[in-house]
Amino acid sequence: MSESLSKSLDAPFTSDDELAAIARGVIELSLPKPQWTHRAHFAAALWLMRSRPELELAWVMPRLIRAYNESTGTANTDTGGYHETITQASLRAASSFLGKHDGKPLFAVCNALMESPLGKSDWLLGYWTKERLFSVEARRHWVEPDITPLPF
């Protein structure tokens, strides 16, 4: 990955159009794989929550992610690709965060989320042990946290 692409993947968003482009890229299966980062997952979820409120994201997002993974050559298996518990927990977190920042531009909400503890890719390990979170069961189905309940 080029240095400029790497920097741009970490740079704060400057417009809602950037989030829309990520979400559309996932929907259209055209987002370049290196751009499907932790940050991009939240950007797509937030954009869909605000722009497509009629969608039941707990049902839609798993299908989008699985299809996107397959389109980029990432197999959805018991050890890689789509992860149900991470997706559902992240959707809950994003929805809660968005609700607390209602009325703000979406790019600003996403930037604030990425500056919060949720912006760290290991935030879920405060709620699940690594063994439970990365189990085959948690990858296939929702598994409740085993350290402490989610606050949302």
Is residue 148 included in any domain, yes or no? no
Q: What are residue 76's phi and psi, to 5 degrees?
A: -95, 100
Is residue 99 included in any domain, yes or no? yes
Tell me which residue range forms the domain holding 29.
Answer: 3-140
The predicted model scores a pTM of 0.93
Q: Tens digit of pLDDT per residue, the chain (152 long)?
A: 444 444 477 899 999 999 999 999 999 999 999 999 999 999 999 999 999 999 999 999 999 999 999 999 999 999 999 999 999 999 999 999 999 998 999 999 999 999 999 999 999 999 999 999 999 999 999 999 999 999 99
Q: What pLDDT does 5 receive?
A: 47
Is residue 146 included in any domain, yes or no? no
Q: What pLDDT does 115 receive?
A: 98
Give the Cα separation of 22 and 136 in Å (integer): 28
Is residue 134 included in any domain, yes or no? yes
Count: domains in the chain: 1
Is residue 85 included in any domain, yes or no? yes
Residue with tokens 């039941």: 56
Q: What pLDDT does 10 receive?
A: 82
Is residue 149 included in any domain, yes or no? no
Give the Cα separation of 8 and 129 in Å (integer): 32
Collapsed DSSP state (helix, strand, coil) of residue 152: coil
Secondary structure of 20-45 as H, E, C letters: HHHHHHHHCCCCCHHHCCHHHHHHHH
Is residue 9 included in any domain, yes or no? yes
Is residue 79 included in any domain, yes or no? yes
